[in-house]
Amino acid sequence: MKLITAIIKPFKLDEVREALSTVGIQGMTVTEVKGFGRQKGHTELYRGAEYTVDFLPKLQLAMALPDDQVELAIETLCAAAHTGKIGDGKIFITRIEQAVRIRTGESGESAL
């Protein structure tokens, strides 16, 4: 089992969700985050006070998937979240040691 963590541009959420749904991948948790890599921030001006804001709003998606779905998920996600401009985001894959479905108590891949 793998945990896919993807950081994407906020406006791409619907596209990504739909694309993943089309290939049979349901379920994700979305968090609003802020961050930056190489994308430049912007300046805000309030009367005489100028602020350089480095952090940009992003969305963090978390999906727990069985190993055989990981490659498909990554391909689909990349295609949907891509714009070609700096700041498109990143995907991290980590191993899940165990997963449990709270309603039934199932564990392992059947919990995903």
Cβ nearer to another protein, comparing 53 with 100: 53
Query: Which residue, among 91, 107, 97, 82, has the nearest Cα to 28 in the 3D structure?
Result: 91
Asked whether 77 and 2 are in contact (CB, 8 A), the reply is no
Closest separation between CB of residue 58 and another protein, Å?
18
Cβ nearer to another protein, comparing 14 with 32: 32
Residues at the site binding another protein, with contacts judged by CB under 8 A: 44-49, 51, 53
Closest separation between CB of residue 30 and another protein, Å?
15
Asked whether 112 and 29 are in contact (CB, 8 A), the reply is no
Closest separation between CB of residue 56 and another protein, Å?
14
Query: Which residue, among 112, 16, 13, has the nearest Cα to 64 in the 3D structure?
Result: 112
| Angle at CA of residue 3, ends 37 and 34, nearest 5° | 30
Closest separation between CB of residue 43 and another protein, Å?
10
Cβ nearer to another protein, comparing 18 with 44: 44
Which residues are paired to 32 by β-bridges?
Answer: 59
Cβ nearer to another protein, comparing 45 with 102: 45
